[in-house]
Amino acid sequence: MILDGNDVSKRIKDKLALQVAALEQKGVRPCLATILVGDDPASATYVRMKGNACKRLGIESKKIELPKETTTKELLAVIRELNNDSSVHGILLQHPVPSQIDERAAFDEIAIEKDVDGVTTLGFAQNAFGFAHYPSCTPAAILAILDHYQLPIEGKHAVVVGRSPILGKPVSQMLLNRNATVTICHSRTENVSDFVEKADIVVAAVGKPNFIQGEWIKSGAVVLDAGYNKGNIGDCEYDGCAQRASAITPVPGGVGPVTISMLLKHTVEAAERSV
C-alpha cells in the first residue's frame, strides 16, 4: 500500500476550510507570521510555499524578512512584537538562521500559544509528556498518516533513524506515548541495519539519499520516509523498500504535504483557542 500524503493532506485541509469559515463568522481570520532571516534561496522557497498554502485556505500570512546581519537581540525584539500582536496566531521562524544568531534563544522567545511549529523547549517538553497542543509538524504528519490509514502503533517495534530536535526525537516520543517500543538510531549507532531489520515501523529521518536499503526492511513493515534530499529523493531506497514493506510513503507526495497541512492545522487551532 502506498501511503498517499497528498490525499491525507487534502482531507485535513477540507476539514480546516470549514473551521476557517466558522472562525470568519466570529470575525477572526487565522494568521501565521513567518520570519525569514537572510537570503538563503531554499529557505525563501519554503517560506513562500507555506505562505501560498495559507492563502489557499484563507489563512493570512504575514511575512517578515530580515537582513542576514540581524543580531539575536534584534530578532528577539521582532518575535516579542509578534507575541504581543493579537492578530497573529502562529509564529514560524524559518530554520536555519544565520550563524551569528542564537537560534535556541530565538525559538524559545516564541510564546508557547503561538509555537505552531513546535520548536520551543517548552513545546518539546510538553510533547515528551504527551500533552503538546502543537508538536513539531513533521512528527505530527507521520502520526497523522499512520492514523489516517489506521496502522497500529501500540505494541509495535518502531525504529527511528535520526534524532534531530525537530524530527527524530519528537517523533520517537510521540510513538512511545502511543505505546510503541521505540529504538532510536543515529550517526554513532553501530550496524544501523541490525535495528531496522527488526522494525515493524521504520521512520527514516536521516537526511541521506537512499540510506535505508530494501534488504534491511522486515517483510510487512510500515515505512515512513521523512527524508527530502536534492532531486526529490527520500532517505529510503524506494523500490527495494516498497517490495518488502506492507505500506510506504513515497517521496515526493508522502510526509512532505502532510507536514504543511499540520502547520496550517496548528495555526487554525491557535486561532480557535484565541477566541
- Enumerate the known binding-site residues for NADP(+): 162-164
- In angstroms, the CA 104 to CA 122 distance is 12
C-alpha distances in Å from residue 226, one per residue of 17, 27, 102, 161: 26, 37, 26, 10
Give the rounded distance of the alpha carbon of 179 from its chain centre.
Answer: 21
Residue 214: CB atoms within 10 A of its CB come to: 17
229 near ligand NAP, rule: CB under 6 A = yes
Which 3 state secondary structure label does DSSP give 181?
strand
Q: Which stretch binds ligand NAP (CB under 6 A): 37-45, 48-56, 120-128, 188-196?
A: 188-196
- Residues with Cβ < 8 Å from 253, sequence gap 6 or more? 4, 5, 6
**Bridge partners (DSSP) listed for residue 229:** 233
User: In the set 203, 226, 247, 248, which binds ligand NAP (CB under 6 A)?
Assistant: 226
Decide whether 79 or 203 has the Cβ nearer to ligand NAP: 203
In terms of residues, how long is the chain?
A: 275
266 near ligand NAP, rule: CB under 6 A = no
Whether 50 is catalytic: yes
Decide whether 118 or 256 has the Cβ nearer to ligand NAP: 256
Whether 10 is catalytic: no
| Pair 161, 202: CB distance under 8 Å | yes
123 near ligand NAP, rule: CB under 6 A = no
User: In the set 100, 121, 179, 187, which binds ligand NAP (CB under 6 A)?
Assistant: 187
Q: Which entry of 4, 108, 115, 117 is annotated as an active-site residue?
A: 117
Closest CA to 171 of 209, 201, 195: 201
143 near ligand NAP, rule: CB under 6 A = no
5 near ligand NAP, rule: CB under 6 A = no
Q: Which entry of 13, 50, 156, 169 is annotated as an active-site residue?
A: 50
By the criterion CB under 6 A, which residues form the site for ligand NAP?
138, 161-164, 166-168, 185-189, 192, 205-208, 226-229, 235, 255-256, 259
